[in-house]
Amino acid sequence: DTEVTQTPKHLVMGMTNKKSLKCEQHMGHRAMYWYKQKAKKPPELMFVYSYEKLSINESVPSRFSPECPNSSLLNLHLHALQPEDSALYLCASSQGGQGYSPEQYFGPGTRLTVT
């Protein structure tokens, strides 16, 4: 099973709202990722969790706050977003660690619209 699930599939929020995106995998992977993808562009890496610890933060604004409650779950908390944050948010996972092939498995994404 190479499935990564994401909820919700679509989200519309105002600039003053607080919402969360959720991601789950049951492949025993130890690395999880958040990406942002704008139309007709490749995914842009936002955060990497390795063994449940934040290992990479690609200078993402503080209005995005990641959380990894356990090795299977990854959340992205959203607060005071701007219209330019509207995008497809993708979660991915990989085995993680030295010696493992680094291919990542992606979820279907959450289409976020900020009004």
Binding site for another protein (CB under 8 A): 2, 4, 6, 31, 33, 40-43, 45, 48, 50, 55-56, 88, 90, 92, 94, 96-109, 111
Give dist(CA 7, CA 13) in Å, integer.
Answer: 15
Q: What are phi and psi of 47, to 5 degrees?
A: -140, 150
Give dist(CA 109, CA 36) in Å, integer.
Answer: 9
Shortest distance (Å) from residue 16 CB to another protein: 27
18 vs 87, beta carbon nearer another protein: 87
Give dist(CA 59, CA 62) in Å, integer.
Answer: 9
Distances (CA, A) of 11 to 65, 86, 99: 17, 10, 38
Shortest distance (Å) from residue 15 CB to another protein: 24
84 vs 103, beta carbon nearer another protein: 103
16 vs 101, beta carbon nearer another protein: 101
Shortest distance (Å) from residue 46 CB to another protein: 12
